[in-house]
Amino acid sequence: MSTLTHKFLTLGITLLLFFQQGVAEAQSSPKVALTGGKILTVSGAPVVDGTILIENGIIQAVGGADMAVPYDAMEVDCSGMILAPGLVDAHNPAGLDIPNENLSVAPFVDVYDAIDPSRFFFENSLRNGISTVHVMQGNNCVVGGVSRIVHPIGLSPDEMTRLPGIALKMSVSPKGGYDRLRQRAELRGVFSEFDRWHENLAETRYEQEAENSDDLDSLPPAEAREKGKSMIREEDLDDRHRHLAYLDGGKLGAWIHCGAATDVAPAIAMIADRGWTGRAVLVLSGDAHLAAAEIAAAKVPVVLDSDLIHRERDAITGEVEETFIPEVMRQNRIRFALQAGRSNVMPENLLTYQAARLVRNGMSQEQALRTITLGAAEICGVAEQYGSIDKGKVANIVMWTGNPLEMTSWVQKVWIEGILAYDREMDARLQRLFPEMEEEESSDESKEMEETSEGASGEEAQGEEGSTEEGAGAKGSEETEEAAEPLKKDGKSEEKPAPSPAPETDSASKGGL
């Protein structure tokens, strides 16, 4: 190989590697600027004709129209649209193959093993503007598994997961087939057994360390258990007790279902006794809102059921009384998040509809939108990353055609970590549902054009026929003889009046004139 050929080959390989590196960097760290839209930051005042700069999936800057856009950023024109943070679904088991396990006590499970990325729920979440989902087991349990925060896009639970190990689910209200006596006895038994196991493990660990160290003296069992808790290692935890140990050590939150007002007091007592204050959430349903005063005193946030109206019939008058539960929470200054309904045919399955119901009952639009974005993120403990459009937060942004709380608005685009994850114009399911809309419109237009041209040509042809009949004598004797000849062959008298012309010929003759 000649020296010149070798140099060209080396140069070619160098350039190839350079461009490959450049493409890889561009794909791994895209820079996007969303310009021209109205920005609903949720954490502050709206920005009209604003600009959002995104890099590496993180919001780098939020400003007005005068904010400079870097030369190397891909600019997306959002004029006439509204840019809002992605909605946060605070509690939903719909992404799992089944909401709960058959086992009543299963603290060793993780929703990671049951997340099905192919479920329609995740696709529909993007279509409805939800960019962050707290996947958690349902309420039909004594002690359930561990939840996690996911994005509704990805081919595997690993790709979807953003924050594992959020909270452990449990219920004070009886699961199916249980009464309250059995439910609470079994719930107490779970933590009593854990406490015994944890104390024995702590004592064992202290004794092991004392044997290998001259600085540690032998202690009575009670003192050894207390000092040995800090010596427990990750490898000392077994699968059955691992998540309970995380909960006891403050690594997990406690989400407790209360299906009735009578279940609230035991739940609050458990929170106080176990030291879960500040990381516990009550998942309410039924008439649990009747214990709003106790919840407010304990300063525990809540997640409300999708049915926001409680109906109760008066035993004396027979009249049905309706209570709008979010208003009860608001009056008692209790932080709350909303859940979407499970039905795909009812509007309650839309978080924006649930928030619009808050507006209808007196809450401001800003506060209602905050409830399903930043407020939900705060209750889930992920407000540092999600819930608002602020510098340093994850760039989960939704482009709306109008006010997100209006039923006439829809999601046009969704960016997940600064990458376009949904575009209504490319929605394959909508294209399958309405495959011939554009074709029908174009065919209707072409038919109208054809009918118009045919009508015009028909009028011209009929006009020529009418003028030919009226001016037959002027066009020559040959046409007159041809017109009269059939009458002679039929033997009909020439004086016999000719049949009246058809309406089409008459109208055409008039048109010709």
pLDDT of residue 445: 61
pLDDT digits 0-9 by tens, 467-495: 444 444 444 444 444 444 444 444 444 45
The pLDDT confidence band at residue 211, using thresholds 50, 70 and 90, is confident
For residues 158 and 50, membership in a common domain is answered with no
For residues 66 and 82, membership in a common domain is answered with yes
DSSP, res 436: T
For residues 203 and 63, membership in a common domain is answered with no
Across 32-37, average pLDDT: 96
For residues 66 and 101, membership in a common domain is answered with no
pLDDT of residue 442: 56
Angstrom distances, CA of residue 70 to CA of 54, 77, 251, 399, 436: 11, 15, 41, 21, 41
- The dihedral through the CA atoms of 346, 352, 356, 358 has a sign that is positive
Q: 202: closest CA among 150, 241, 157, 171? A: 241
For residues 71 and 164, membership in a common domain is answered with no
**Residue 130: its H or E element:** strand 130-135
Confirm whether 78 is domain-assigned. yes
Confirm whether 507 is domain-assigned. no
Question: Residue 5 above 60 pLDDT?
Answer: no
The pLDDT confidence band at residue 510, using thresholds 50, 70 and 90, is very low
pTM: 0.79
For residues 102 and 58, membership in a common domain is answered with no
- Beta-sheet pairing, 31-39 with 82-85: parallel
pLDDT of residue 441: 56
Structural domain span for residue 292: 90-369
pLDDT of residue 483: 43
pLDDT digits 0-9 by tens, 53-66: 999 999 999 999 99
For residues 100 and 79, membership in a common domain is answered with no
Question: Residue 348 above 80 pLDDT?
Answer: yes
Confirm whether 499 is domain-assigned. no
User: Which has the minimum average pLDDT: 123-127, 145-149, 443-447?
Assistant: 443-447
The pLDDT confidence band at residue 446, using thresholds 50, 70 and 90, is low
For residues 120 and 49, membership in a common domain is answered with no
For residues 325 and 430, membership in a common domain is answered with no
The token duo for 177 is 């087939």
pLDDT of residue 352: 96
For residues 172 and 241, membership in a common domain is answered with yes
For residues 123 and 142, membership in a common domain is answered with yes
Q: Cβ-count burial of 228 within 10 angstroms (0-12 exposed, 13-18 middle, 19+ buried)?
A: buried
Confirm whether 38 is domain-assigned. yes
CATH of the domain at 70: 2.30.40.10
**Could you give the 3-state DSSP secondary structure of residue 262?**
helix
Question: Residue 464 above 50 pLDDT?
Answer: yes
Do you know the residue count of the chain?
513
Confirm whether 400 is domain-assigned. yes
The pLDDT confidence band at residue 513, using thresholds 50, 70 and 90, is very low
CATH of the domain at 122: 3.20.20.140
pLDDT of residue 454: 61
User: How far is 33 from 52, CA to CA, in rounded Å?
Assistant: 6
pLDDT of residue 440: 55
Question: Residue 313 above 60 pLDDT?
Answer: yes
Instruction: Count CB neighbours of 112 within 10 A.
Output: 18
pLDDT digits 0-9 by tens, 363-414: 999 999 999 999 999 999 999 999 999 999 999 999 999 999 998 999 999 9
Across 298-308, average pLDDT: 96
Confirm whether 465 is domain-assigned. no
Across 154-165, average pLDDT: 96
Are the C-beta atoms of 168 and 247 separated by less than 8 Å?
yes
For residues 72 and 138, membership in a common domain is answered with no
pLDDT of residue 94: 93
- Beta-sheet pairing, 130-135 with 253-258: unpaired
Exposed e or buried b for every residue in 471-485, given b needs 16+ CB within 10 A? eeeeeeeeeeeeeee
Question: Helices in 29-80 by DSSP H: which ranges?
Answer: none
Residue 361 makes CB contacts below 8 A (sequence gap 6+) with: 324, 326, 327
Question: How many domains does the chain fold into?
Answer: 2
